[in-house]
Structures are given as C-alpha cells and as structure tokens.
Amino acid sequence: MNRLLHNRSTLPGALLTLIFAGAALISLVWVPYDTTVLNIADRMKLPSLAHPFGTDQFGRDILSMLMVGARTSIAVALVAVGIGMLAGVPLGLAAAARKGSLPDEIIMRTNDLVFAFPSLLIAVMITAVFGASALNAIIAIGIFNIPVFARLTRGAALTLWSREYVMAARVAGKGAARISLEHILPNVTNLLIVQGTIQFSLGILAEAGLSYVGLGAQPPTASWGRMLADSQTMISLAPHLAIFPGMAILLTVLGLNLLGDGLRDLLDPRLRRART
C-alpha cells in the first residue's frame, strides 16, 4: 500500500478512477436533478451555482447526466471485461497446457481470426443485426476482449509451464487442469489485473464510440458518447455541452491507463527490483 502511494502514476490514476466510480455509485441513490425530466425553460444554461456544469438543449443538468452516464460506461466496460476474462483466461490456460496440439491451434487461430477484424466495425455489425442496445454493445465489446485475455494468458502460462515447480507438481501426479488452476492461474493474476484495467478503459472508449453513432445505450439512459453526439450540432452555440462529457471520457480513460501502468510496475517483481 505504501508503495502504491509512492508510485508516480498510480496515485493520480487511482484518484481519477475513484472519482468516477464514486460519481457512478452516488448516482444510484442521489443525483442533483432528475435526468428524465425535461425543462425547456432552463436549456443550454452556462455553468452556474445551481448547475455546476450547465444544462443541455433540453434543460437537463449536465452534472447529473454525467453521473448517470458514468454508471452506463462503467457497467458496460465492467461486464465486457468480465466476459473477456471468463472466456479468454480458461481458453488461454487450456491452450498453454496442450501447447502445439490441435486444441491449441484451434483456439489460437480462432483468436487470430477475431483479431483480424477491427473491433468497432464488428461491434457496429452486431448491434446493427441484433438491434442497438446497451446489452448488445456489452456482448460485442466482450467478444473482442476474449482473444486479448486468451493470448496474454497463454503467453504467460507457457513460461510458467517450464518451471520446475510445475514439473514437481507433475511428478506428484497432478493433471493439466489441476496444475493450471493451482500453479499457473495464481501466478498470472498480476498480468490479468493490469490488462483488465487497460481493457476496462478501452471498453469505456468503445461504449462511448458506439453510443456516439447511436448503437449503444438508448434514450432515456444517459451515456457520455450520446451526449457528445447530441451536442455536436450546437458546439458553436454552447461548447460546454461537448466539453464536459468529452473531458469525462478523457479523464476516466487517462485515469485507468495510469492505474494500469502503475499496477504493472508495482506487481512486476523485475521492475520492482530495478527501482529499489
């Protein structure tokens, strides 16, 4: 913990992440203004004491919208990373345990196939076919997280399989599944946590991108990406409509990336030793 606070990138990263996670959590019980109520009289107000970030073209409070939008972004990204880890990590472990075998080739070549398509493009296709909704966005982003985690896990697991403690476990008669669970998985979690934070930030970006083109969360659910899209036509009249959601996306992604970098430095024993 002490080291966590002394790392140059972890602290600001963790603070930014905490602010946005906190905002999302608070929005579950309380927001300054109801975001489903339109108040045309107050539309496009500049930031003031009553509305710290101003109001949008329908008179909704932008701060409240951002808080509710944080919830959407975090939920989509979290579930998408979850899908990627739950499917990708076992696949990677299995591929590493049977390196060079047919299952390994099938898993890794399927990964290559998924990797070969630009992720956002396929996400657009999935939502276009199955309808635009937050759920479909989650599934689309989640599918693209699977090969990322599968590859990472396989690579790290392969080096662990040549360790002598794995050999000792094999001498103790343990099977590949058990060794993967007891010896390999605990020793790749560091990597997975780090990659998880990075994929999390990419998930937020992807959700914002999908919502921006109208394929993510649908109204009345607030979403940062759609707030940006809605404000686009009015950017010269009321730039704050675009600036605040844009800043929210930028700072969250920055925060998560910094946190991921910091965690990597912290958890990688080689880098740790190099610093001390």
Partner 1 sequence: MSLLEIEDLSLEIHGEAILKNVSMQVEPGRVLGVIGESGSGKSMTAFSVLQLLPNGSVSRGRIALSGRDILNASEKDLCSMRGRDVGMVFQEPMTALNPLQTIGAQVAETILVHERVPKAEALARAADALRRAELPADRFPLTRYPHELSGGQRQRVVIAMAIALRPKLLIADEPTTALDVTTQAQILDLLKRLVAEDGMGLMLISHDLAVVADLADDLVIMRSGEVVESGPAHGLFRNMKHPYSRALLEASGHVPDRNGAAQETALLKVNSVTREYQTHTHGWWGRTTHVRAVDTVSFEIRKGESLGLVGESGCGKSTLTRAILGLEEIQGGEILLDGTPVVSHHRVNRDIRRRMQVVFQDPYGSFNPRWRVDRLITEPFHLLDNPPRGPDRDAAVAEALESVGLGAGDSRKYIHEFSGGQRQRIAIARALIIKPDLIILDEAVSALDVSVRAQVLDLLAGLADRFGLTYLFISHDLSVVRSITERVLVMKSGQIVEEGPTDSVFDKPQHAYTKQLVAAAPVLPADVA
Q: Does 270 bind partner 1 (CB under 8 A)?
A: no
* 266 alpha-carbon distance from chain centroid: 20
Question: One symbol per residue from 100 to 129: x for binding partner 1 (CB under 8 A), - otherwise; what is it?
Answer: ------------------------------
* Maximum C-alpha span of the chain: 76
Q: Which is nearer to partner 1, 135 or 168 (CB)?
A: 168
Q: Does 2 bind partner 1 (CB under 8 A)?
A: no
Q: What angle in degrees, to the nearest 10, is found between the helix axes of 102-116 and 134-161?
A: 140
Pairwise CA distance, residues 234 & 242, whole Å: 9
Q: Which tokens is 6 given?
A: 């002394």
Q: Which stretch binds partner 1 (CB under 8 A): 30-38, 39-47, 168-176, 254-262?
A: 168-176
Q: Does 38 bind partner 1 (CB under 8 A)?
A: no
Pairwise CA distance, residues 212 & 214, whole Å: 5
Among the listed residues 42, 69, 68, the one whose alpha carbon sits nearest the alpha carbon of residue 54: 42
Sole binder of partner 1 in the list 11, 38, 132, 169 (CB under 8 A): 169
Q: Does 1 bind partner 1 (CB under 8 A)?
A: no
Q: Does 98 bind partner 1 (CB under 8 A)?
A: no
Sole binder of partner 1 in the list 40, 171, 236, 270 (CB under 8 A): 171
Contacting residues for 159 by C-beta, under 8 A, at least 6 apart: none
Sole binder of partner 1 in the list 52, 103, 186, 239 (CB under 8 A): 186
Sole binder of partner 1 in the list 25, 168, 237, 271 (CB under 8 A): 168
Q: Which tokens is 261 given?
A: 């970098």
Q: Does 151 bind partner 1 (CB under 8 A)?
A: no
Q: Does 43 bind partner 1 (CB under 8 A)?
A: no
Instruction: Identify whether the C-beta of residue 152 lies closer than 8 Å to the C-beta of residue 195.
Output: yes
Pairwise CA distance, residues 104 & 18, whole Å: 39
The footprint of partner 1 (CB under 8 A) covers 163-165, 167-174, 182-183, 186-187
